[in-house]
Amino acid sequence: MSGRALSFGAVAEAYERFRPGYPEALRDTVLAYAGRPVRTALEIGAGTGKATRLFARPGTVVTATDPDGAMLAELRKHVPADVRTVRAAFEDLPPGERYDLVYAAAALHWTSPQGRWSRMAALLEPGGVLASCGGPVRLADPAAEEAVRAARAPFLDTDEIPSPDGTPEGHAMQWPGTELQQTPWFADVRQQVIERRVTMRAPDYVGHLSTLSAYLELPASAQEEVFRRIERVLPETVELVADVIVHLARRLPQDASSQDATAGAV
């Protein structure tokens, strides 16, 4: 896991305050796809627990994992007491325990590609569900977006994370669906978009930017200057396009796979 992936703990409180949460429609979409009770769930890269809160409901036991202790400390302030927390990267989770649902919210791209899908399959019961969600948060006003791009340009070309497999934006199927379609461990791969608009005060939007890994990698003095420049070009309030892109896949029964899911899990 890269240092960029481990940069969020320093801004855990800001992450909780400024990052939009997830709509109930996300939980409804995942459970409808599952088509059966989800009694156990494992979250990868839980952060401050924004998605944890959706799935930690009566009848579902959630284990929330994250490699950053500061993020998990913030998470514990906001989730039910019966949520189990484990400080570990996805690659370091011990094998053996299986779940009805494994999910990741804006976190799966931080996992190592080596053995990713065999390891994921090994964490799921046959017929269990993998759910991944995320998507860029952008200014709805093109003029405001361009003004921010120009203000940011001396420091960053972009603040977005490229597709891990190079799938171009606008392609009918986005990552990780593109890779899941090619694995021997998963079937019924689906992509769904939950449309969402969020309105924020300009300082809060800048606070949101302050939690993005691209900015966290800048020196402190550069962060202060770029945020000052961005806030200067924004109106008092901004509308954001914050659609949630959901990818779903079902773990094939062990005997339906051409390879043993545990073979690549180390």
Task: Using pLDDT thresholds of 50, 70 and 90, give the confidence band for residue 5.
Answer: very low
207-234 residue pLDDT tens? 999 999 999 999 999 999 999 999 999 9
- Per domain, the residue ranges of the chain are 4-137+161-197+242-256
Residue found under tokens 């051409």: 258
What is residue 257's predicted lDDT score, i.e. its pLDDT?
53
pLDDT of the residue at 65: 98
3 state DSSP class of 14 = helix
Report how far residue 42's alpha carbon sits from residue 46's, in angstroms, rounded to the nearest whole number: 9
**Total-model pTM:** 0.91
Q: What percent of the chain has pLDDT over 90?
A: 88
Q: What is the pLDDT of residues 170-180, one digit of tens each?
A: 899 999 999 99
Residue-wise pLDDT for 101-151, tens only, equals: 999 999 999 999 999 999 999 999 999 999 999 999 999 999 999 999 999
Q: Which two tokens stand for residue 237?
A: 């309030």
Amino acid at 219: P
Q: Where are the alpha helices (DSSP H) in 59-183?
A: 69-75, 116-122, 142-152, 177-180
Cα dist. 28→126, 139, 142, 191 in Å? 21, 27, 32, 14
- Rounded Cα distance between 162 and 243, Å, is 17
The angle that helices 220-233 and 142-152 make with each other, rounded to 10 degrees, is 150
Query: Over the stretch 34-74, which tens digit does the pLDDT of each residue have?
Result: 999 999 999 999 999 999 999 999 999 999 999 999 999 99
Check the CA dihedral 228-233-236-240 and report its sign. Answer: negative
Percentage of residues of the chain with pLDDT beyond 70? 92
**CA 208, 17, 11, 107 torsion-angle sign:** negative
Question: Which option is the CATH number for 4-137+161-197+242-256: 3.30.2130.30, 3.40.640.10, 3.40.50.300, 3.40.50.150?
Answer: 3.40.50.150
Query: Mean pLDDT, to the nearest integer, of 168-193?
Result: 96
> Which phi and psi angles does 202 have, rounded to 5°?
-55, -45
Sheet with 244-251, side-by-side order of all strands: 84-87, 61-66, 40-44, 99-105, 124-134, 244-251, 186-194
- State the pLDDT at residue 94: 87
What average pLDDT does the segment 238-259 reach? 86
